[in-house]
Structures are given as C-alpha cells and as structure tokens.
C-alpha cells in the first residue's frame, strides 16, 4: 500500500476580478486537494482593471472560509512556478468547448515543460457557466446589475473603480 502524500494544486488566473464562478471552482478544488494555491499571473500584455495587490486582497477575503486555500502571485512560466511550490496539479475551470481548446494546448505545454505536472479540468457549475470577469466588467460599466456574479466586496470595489453608484430600486 502506498503512503498518502500531500497533493498541492495551483489554480492560476488573472482574477480581474474574482467571480462567483471562480469561487465555485475554488470551493470544489479545496475539497479535492490537500492544498490549493490560487495564484495571479503578472501579465503585462493585459490591461487589468485592478492591481495585483488589489486582486490579492480581494481573493484573500473571498477564500477566507477555506482553510487549505492560499493566495499568491507569480511571473513567468506556470510550469516553473508549480515546481517551486511543489505542486503536482494545475486546476482549471471550463465553461464551454471554446475554453477547452485553449486550455488543452496550455495543459500539454505545461506537461511537456514539467512531465510530472497534471492538469485537472472542472466543468463550471451550470449557474456559473456564463460568467466571466470580462463580461462582469462590461455589464457594470454599462450600468447593469452584477449582484450574485461577484462577491459583495468585489462589486463594491468595481462600483468605486468605475464610478458606478448602486441603482436605487
């Protein structure tokens, strides 16, 4: 019988901002792995709405209920970062078949760079399959209601950042 070794997984992303879809993957991932590191990639090619520091702060608050989840950030190759964290698994969420095509390519490259690194895909929960950070930012910037699509703290920060007061009903 093999001795159980701790399985560390990394859930990478931009999380600009974190959505309830991300939180669904985090919650389910926290049950699958001994330790889950939610890590923000420093990506200069994107123009994020929030700084990495702001995103770390929002993520830490959002994942506080999960004792085995931590928040971090990294530069460079995910495969190299996973090695430094002793992670054996990359966790990714899939909303649609279009996500899968891109994710498959990255998973195969990561496996080529670090042969012991596996990628695990979790299908988005039905209630979250249409949510993306990009869409949330677009809807709120046009005055739409994003309640329930992001944690309340994130909604509040989006309103402040985009100068969108809450609509009175």
The pTM of this model reads 0.91
**CATH code for residues 8-129:** 3.40.50.620
- Residue 87, both tokens: 């992670």
Domain ranges of the chain: 8-129
Active site residue ranges: 22, 46, 95, 133
Whether pLDDT at 1 is above 90 = no
Residue 49 in this model has a pLDDT that exceeds 60: yes
Of 15 and 126, the one with more pLDDT: 15
Q: Which range has the worst mean pLDDT, 9-13, 47-51, 80-84, 105-109?
A: 47-51
What pLDDT does residue 129 have?
87
How many angstroms separate the CA atoms of 119 and 117, rounded?
A: 7
What's the mean per-residue pLDDT of the chain? Answer: 92
The CA-based angle 57-63-68, given to 5 degrees, is 120
Mean pLDDT lowest for which of 59-73, 75-89, 154-168?
154-168
């Amino acid at each position: 019988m093999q001795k159980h070794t701790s399985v560390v997984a990394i859930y990478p992303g931009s999380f600009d901002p974190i959505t309830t879809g991300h939180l669904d993957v985090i919650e389910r991932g926290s049950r699958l792995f001994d330790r889950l590191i939610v890590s923000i990639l420093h990506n200069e090619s994107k123009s994020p709405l929030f700084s990495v520091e702001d995103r770390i702060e929002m993520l830490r608050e959002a994942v506080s209920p999960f004792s085995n989840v931590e928040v971090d950030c990294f530069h460079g190759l995910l495969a190299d970062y996973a090695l430094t964290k002793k992670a054996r698994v990359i966790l990714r969420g899939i909303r649609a078949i279009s996500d899968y095509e891109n994710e498959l390519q990255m998973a195969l490259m990561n496996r080529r760079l670090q042969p012991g690194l596996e990628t695990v895909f979790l299908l988005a929960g039905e209630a979250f399959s249409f949510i993306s950070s990009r869409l949330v930012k677009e809807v709120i910037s046009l005055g739409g209601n994003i309640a329930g699509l992001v944690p309340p703290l994130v909604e509040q920060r989006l309103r402040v950042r985009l100068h969108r007061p809450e609509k009175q009903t």
